[in-house]
């Protein structure tokens, strides 16, 4: 299992990086990205601290730990600049908090994120076909999420990704220990969103490819 979208105490997660990564290793995870909620006020605080501990925690627990960020409720016109800054600060996985239908995310966030240097557009809500096509063209993964609320539009995201050729990844958006779900549950949620077994395996390969790319960027 790989989860490239999780939260620690540096934003609204319940656990510090050491415990989250330890629990992920104990749950059998092979890789995890720590992607706390960030905006212009805090990314210089969060990213270097996570980046400082990621490799040593990964070594200690026997899994890959990647420092990242989830740009969250950032005004669309600031997303590209903040994505660049996050990379400079050491983020290996850049996620942007997409237009979930359960929060008033600014319209235009999906588009601005897909035009920026990000890896994953999380919970993109009722993403348009045009935006899914940009994701496909730019090699940005769209997210199927196992998280309550955000997951309400998983079926739509799958349909848009399928019809426009965009890559999908499955993430847990883990905030608490109970969010570190099993591979079996992730598979069930993927099937519930309309993915086939083959498409589910493809999602896992996309996650693996992102991990490899992130490690190569070091």
Question: What is the binding site for Zn ion (CB under 5 A)?
Answer: 70, 97, 122, 173
Q: In 116-196, which residue ranges form alpha helices assigned H by DSSP?
A: 129-138, 154-164, 183-192
Which one, 70 or 85, has the nearer CB to Zn ion?
A: 70
Smallest gap from residue 127 Cβ to Zn ion (A)? 14
Which one, 3 or 70, has the nearer CB to Zn ion?
A: 70
Smallest gap from residue 173 Cβ to Zn ion (A)? 4
Which one, 70 or 137, has the nearer CB to Zn ion?
A: 70
Smallest gap from residue 86 Cβ to Zn ion (A)? 14
Can you name the residues that pair with 71 across neighbouring β-strands?
A: 38, 96
Smallest gap from residue 100 Cβ to Zn ion (A)? 7
Q: What burial class does residue 217 get, using C-beta atoms within 10 Å of its C-beta: 0-12 exposed, 13-18 middle, 19+ buried?
A: exposed
CA separation for the pair 146, 151 (Å, rounded): 6
Which one, 34 or 63, has the nearer CB to Zn ion?
A: 34
CA separation for the pair 149, 164 (Å, rounded): 24
Cα–Cα distance list, 38 to 74, 79, 186, 190, 215 (Å): 8, 11, 26, 27, 22
Which one, 64 or 122, has the nearer CB to Zn ion?
A: 122
H/E run at residue 142: strand 141-145
Smallest gap from residue 123 Cβ to Zn ion (A)? 6
């Amino acid at each position: 299992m790989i989860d490239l979208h999780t939260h620690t105490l540096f934003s609204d997660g319940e656990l510090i990086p050491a415990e989250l990564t330890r629990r992920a290793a104990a749950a059998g995870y092979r890789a995890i990205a720590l992607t706390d909620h960030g905006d212009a006020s805090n990314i210089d605080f969060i990213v270097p601290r996570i980046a400082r501990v990621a490799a040593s925690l990964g070594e200690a627990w026997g899994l890959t730990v990647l420092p990242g960020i989830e740009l969250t409720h950032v005004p669309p016109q600031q997303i590209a600049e903040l994505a660049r800054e996050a990379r400079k600060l050491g983020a290996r996985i850049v996620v942007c908090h997409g237009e979930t239908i359960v929060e008033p995310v600014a319209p235009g966030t999906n588009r601005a994120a897909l035009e920026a240097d990000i890896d994953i557009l999380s919970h993109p809500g009722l993403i348009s076909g045009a935006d899914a096509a940009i994701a496909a063209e730019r090699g940005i993964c769209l997210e199927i999420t196992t998280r309550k609320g955000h997951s309400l539009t998983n079926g739509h995201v799958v349909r848009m990704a399928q019809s426009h050729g965009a890559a999908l990844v499955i993430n847990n958006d883990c905030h608490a220990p109970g969010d570190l779900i099993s591979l079996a549950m992730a598979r069930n949620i993927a099937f519930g969103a309309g993915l086939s077994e083959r498409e589910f395996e493809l999602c896992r390969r996309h996650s693996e490819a992102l991990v490899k790319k992130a490690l190569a960027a070091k």
